[in-house]
Amino acid sequence: MNKPRVHIARRMADIEPFHVMDLLARARRLEAGGRRIVHLEIGEPGFPTPEPIMEAGRKALADGHTHYTPAVGLPALREAIAGFYRDRHGVDVSPERIIITPGASGALLLVMAVLLDPGDQVLMADPGYPCNRHFVRTFEGQAVAVPVGPDTAYQLTAEHLESRWGNRSVAAMVASPANPTGTLVPVETMKRMLDLTTARSGRLIVDEIYHGLVYDDEAVTALAHSRDVFVINSFSKYFGMTGWRLGWIVAPEDYVRAIDKLAQNLFLAAPTPAQHAALAAFRPETLEILDARREAFRERRDFLLPALRELGFGIPVTPEGAFYIYADSSVFDADSQRLADRLLEEAGVAVTPGLDFGHYRPEAHVRFAYTREIGELEEGVERLRRILD
Amino acid sequence: MNKPRVHIARRMADIEPFHVMDLLARARRLEAGGRRIVHLEIGEPGFPTPEPIMEAGRKALADGHTHYTPAVGLPALREAIAGFYRDRHGVDVSPERIIITPGASGALLLVMAVLLDPGDQVLMADPGYPCNRHFVRTFEGQAVAVPVGPDTAYQLTAEHLESRWGNRSVAAMVASPANPTGTLVPVETMKRMLDLTTARSGRLIVDEIYHGLVYDDEAVTALAHSRDVFVINSFSKYFGMTGWRLGWIVAPEDYVRAIDKLAQNLFLAAPTPAQHAALAAFRPETLEILDARREAFRERRDFLLPALRELGFGIPVTPEGAFYIYADSSVFDADSQRLADRLLEEAGVAVTPGLDFGHYRPEAHVRFAYTREIGELEEGVERLRRILD
């Protein structure tokens, strides 16, 4: 029997893997050979899931909570999230508008699938989280990458929306704080973008998955300004539940039924033990742990940021949240991929080259993640100093 | 500020909710009012997750396994699944070809996204699992529903593929055993369909999620006949892990890299505690429990099938697996939806009307699920007898 032709959908040509995976694999090989590597590339905090959530997870198993939940999630968890918006943000969000998803990934997937017809455009910042454009492409939409730089804190602005919004534009997407830059969208800009998308019969999609991790101000949810926005959030980053795969959408009321229907068909439901565990995420004792961790992240940033600047990396905008620093590395090498290779080989320091975040000047940038303890950051900086000074 | 226009993607008009949810909601209301309802509509076994898997899940939490795994899954779990194919089926499958997914839902999503360009066709049986056509529609493909009846045991045949395969056909999909009919694809038919799709440069996608639940013969995996087939499987049904959300794909080698890339972007990974728990799924002590459960399902089928036939339901093909009986109910009512309403209201028995499984004669059929204990089945039959006799 002959081998059949390999028919792979055209979209796959536009969907890139996480390029850092190759570098990570090389790092692992070096480690297997006995070398110690300092990991400044990993976008996953080293902290374990907070104990009250673990305890609730163990109790969920003990109580036999292993069957399907409703497609939109456990009613008690939707209520708990509504309570969090009320208590922490002073914002009234009906639990009916909250849809529990398998990670923020599942949330992005549902929102794009519900919004996009083939050819529909979504405006987004470049650099940005690469999966965003891939979600759009997956559903045959067109991601319009808007090059952004330090002048707008690497964020979209209302002016970008005005100049780039076209006939086929149906949504714009922002992340605040953003990956890879850690910058926020200022409140006034957010309001103007909400007004603008509404006026154009479009939608703003706001990724707030790093929302709990903001160091200088309290972050303001876009839900404080609008009921017509899509907000994406997650238990992964701030709540320390990466591997549990749990996130949520707050959707405008008119989209809830369509999203429910799609979630039934595409996911059935989010993982049940994770949903029960997450019920403990908003308890005071958990929030106390999380706020202590936020302080630890702040200290790491406050160490790493000036240290990298002193080494000569260009960081014109202070990252205010998440656990990333996006740095201009062109003074060391015009090719950030080559630089990342050299840093790994010569210094034993892993960083993420800009290529993983888009096509606007990736070769001039690398991303540092401060997901590891401060001692490791110190050693990383010391190693970098030895070869870059 | 005006409300923006509600722009919902056209695909959503073609994606139906699970219609049985409305009936289920009515059943819950009756129960809240004190009525006892016999549930013959639920596609989720009442059995808890087997204790060795629970134990492994608890250990995973105790060991702090709550961080991301690789996108394609834990290496040890991919190895364990390969071992299961070797030991149980005598088939050699490289672990490299096994991709762990968030449920079989995640598996279907990845396979359709990797295979389908807009307008590409996938042939499938009607009646069938409704999400299949919705996955195809989600990625702008076209599901070609082939009406099937008792003459082919409600399954596609090589003749169907020959007559319905067109220029835009890229795949055919079969489920063995199938939902809602519980029927198998005979080995010779499977081989012919594999040859035929290969000869036409297409692919066969075989859903084997009910594979462990076959009562008269041992089920033969399509992997025994071909390395070019996509096989979908799941820890939900046979392994009793519905709420954990874990499944897998065995993909042809040439598709693995594309699926990996897509899984990174769309899911990041399947839930980590679930993956560690599933490592215990193939242990002898677990398989012993599962085989005892299979015997229980067989007994239930062997009770329910003749009882329904005696009541007058038309069941011309004996269901050989899964936990479903698809019955012609037209002797009682030409409208199975109306019949289901009446059975719920008058007899307190919930069944699923045919509408949830496609558009070929749904009004003449209902689906019975034997996911509950035999006592409940007996009571259900007794209640039906009282109003249908």
pLDDT digits (tens, 9 = 90+) for B123-143: 999 999 999 999 999 999 999
Look at residues A85, A124, A128, A132 and name the one whose alpha carbon lies nearest to residue A105. A132
Question: Which tokens go with B76?
Answer: 């040890």
| Contact: A134, B265; criterion CB under 8 Å | yes
- The pLDDT of residue A2 is 58
- The pLDDT of residue B236 is 96
Residue A259 pLDDT > 60: yes
Residue B381 pLDDT > 80: yes
Q: A25-39: per-residue pLDDT in tens?
A: 899 999 999 999 999
Distance CA A113, CA B263 (A): 16
| Contact: A138, B139; criterion CB under 8 Å | yes
A192 alpha-carbon distance from chain centroid: 23
Reduce the DSSP state of residue B101 to 3 states and report it. Answer: strand
B65-283 folds as Aspartate Aminotransferase; domain 2 (3.40.640)
Q: B257-305: per-residue pLDDT in tens?
A: 999 999 999 999 999 999 999 999 999 999 999 999 999 999 999 999 9
Contacts of B258 in chain A (CB under 8 A): 8, 12
Q: Do B16 and B130 touch, CB atoms closer than 8 A?
A: yes
Distance CA A89, CA A225 (A): 12
**pTM as predicted:** 0.97
- The pLDDT of residue B266 is 96
Q: Which of B10, B11, B18, B114 to probe by mutation at the A interface, max A CB count within 10 Å?
A: B11
| Residue A59 region by backbone torsions, left for phi larger than 0, else alpha for psi between -120 and 50, else beta | alpha
Q: Which CATH architecture has domain A11-48+286-388?
A: Alpha-Beta Complex (3.90)
Distance from CA of B31 to the nearest CA of A (A): 18
Nearest to A271 among B6, B252, B271 (CB): B271
- CA angle (B36, A269, A81) in 5-degree steps: 95
% of chain A beyond a pLDDT of 70: 99
| Contact: B265, A135; criterion CB under 8 Å | yes
Section B160-170 average pLDDT: 97
Would you tell me the crossing angle of helices B256-266 and B103-115 to the nearest 10 degrees? 120
ipTM of the complex: 0.96
Measured between CA atoms, the residue of chain B closest to residue A242 is B67
Q: Do A289 and A279 touch, CB atoms closer than 8 A?
A: no
CATH entry 3.40.50.300 includes domain A67-283: no
Q: Where in chain A is the domain with CATH 3.40.640.10?
A: 67-283
Chain B, window 169-208: residues with a beta carbon less than 8 angstroms from a chain A beta carbon = 170, 195, 197-199, 201-203
Contacts of A115 in chain B (CB under 8 A): 7-9
Q: Where in chain B is the domain with CATH 3.40.640.10?
A: 65-283
| Contact: A243, B65; criterion CB under 8 Å | yes
Reduce the DSSP state of residue A107 to 3 states and report it. Answer: helix
